[in-house]
Chain A
Amino acid sequence: MMNGSIIWYLQRISSLFVLTYTIWLFSSFRSFDGTFLGWDLLTSSIVFRLFTTITIISILMHAFIGLWTVGTDYLTSRTLGFLSYRLANYADLIRNSYQILFVFLGLIFLIIVLIVIWI
C-alpha cells in the first residue's frame, strides 16, 4: 500500500487541489455580500458542496502522508533516544498511538464536514 512513487504523486496532486480550492474560495468571497442569506446561498451551492467534499478528501490524504512521514522520521527509537533512553524503548508504541490518533481525528473531521455541508 505504501508504494513510494504513488504516495509521492498523491501528496503533490492533493496539494494542488487544496491550493486551487483556497484560491477559488477566496475569489468567491469577492461576490459575497456579507449577509447570512448570501453566506447560506454560497455554502449551499452545489459547486461549494462538491468542491469542499473533494478538497476535504484531498486534505486528509495529504495530511495522512505528511503526518505519517513526520512520525516515521521523528518518532523512532533512534530520534527519541536523543531525548531519553527510556523513551526510545516505547518508540513503536508512541508512533503507533500517534498514527491511530491522526487517522481517528481525520475520520471525525470528514464526518463533520459531510454533515455540515450536505445536511
Chain B
Amino acid sequence: MSAKSTRPISRPVFLNLLKIKLPMNAVASITHRLSGMYVFFITLPMSLALLFLSKKSETTFTYLKAHLNELNFLSFFVYISFLIFFYHLLTGIRHLLQDLHIGDSMNMLNISARGIIVIWLIALILVFTSL
C-alpha cells in the first residue's frame, strides 16, 4: 500500500475518447453495451406496447399492420429498434464464442467485429428495401 503514496499526483493522461483510435474489437464491445442499454430502455418497452396493441382489438391490430408495412416514422422507429436488438444479438453471440475461445486471437477478433457490421448493414438494407 505504501507504493500507492509514492505515485506521482499529476501524471500525463490522455482521455479524449473521441481522439483515441479504438481497435475494432473494442468498438464491438462498447457498442454491445450501448445497444444493450438501448434494448432495455427502448426496444423492450416498445415491444411490450406492440404486443399489447396487437392483442387489444382487431382495430388496433389492423392499424399496426398497415403502418408497419410501409415506411413512416412509426415503422422506422420500430425496425431500427429491432435492428439494434439484432446487433446486440450478433455481438453477443460473438462474445459467447470468445468465452469458448473460438476466434479469440487478436486477428480473428478484428475480422469478426468487421464481419458483424457487414452482416448488420445487409440486414438493415434488407429490412428497409422490403417495405
Contact = CB atoms under 8 A, between A and B. Distances in A.
B89 A19 contact: yes
Contacts, number: 52
Q: Chain B contact residues: over half helix, strand or loop, or mixed?
A: helix
Interface stretch (B50-58, B73-81, B109-117): B50-58
Interface in B42-84: 44-45, 48, 51-52, 54-55, 58, 61-62, 65
B55 A116 contact: yes
A36 B58 contact: yes
A113 interface: yes
A15 B48 contact: no
B89 to A, nearest CB: 6
Q: Chain A contact residues: over half helix, strand or loop, or mixed?
A: helix
A19 B93 contact: yes
Sorting the interface of chain B by its residue count into under 10, 10 to 19, 20 to 34 or 35 or more gives 20 to 34
24 contacts: A12-B99, A15-B96, A16-B96, A19-B93, A22-B89, A34-B65, A36-B61, A39-B54, A39-B61, A63-B39, A63-B44, A66-B33, A67-B37, A67-B40, A70-B36, A105-B40, A109-B44, A109-B45, A109-B48, A112-B48, A113-B48, A113-B51, A116-B48, A116-B52
Interface of A: 12, 15-16, 18-19, 22, 34, 36, 39-40, 43, 59, 63, 66-67, 70, 82, 102, 105, 109, 112-113, 116-117
Given A66-B36, A113-B51, 11 more contacts: A12-B96, A15-B92, A15-B96, A19-B92, A22-B89, A34-B65, A63-B39, A70-B33, A112-B52, A116-B48, A117-B51
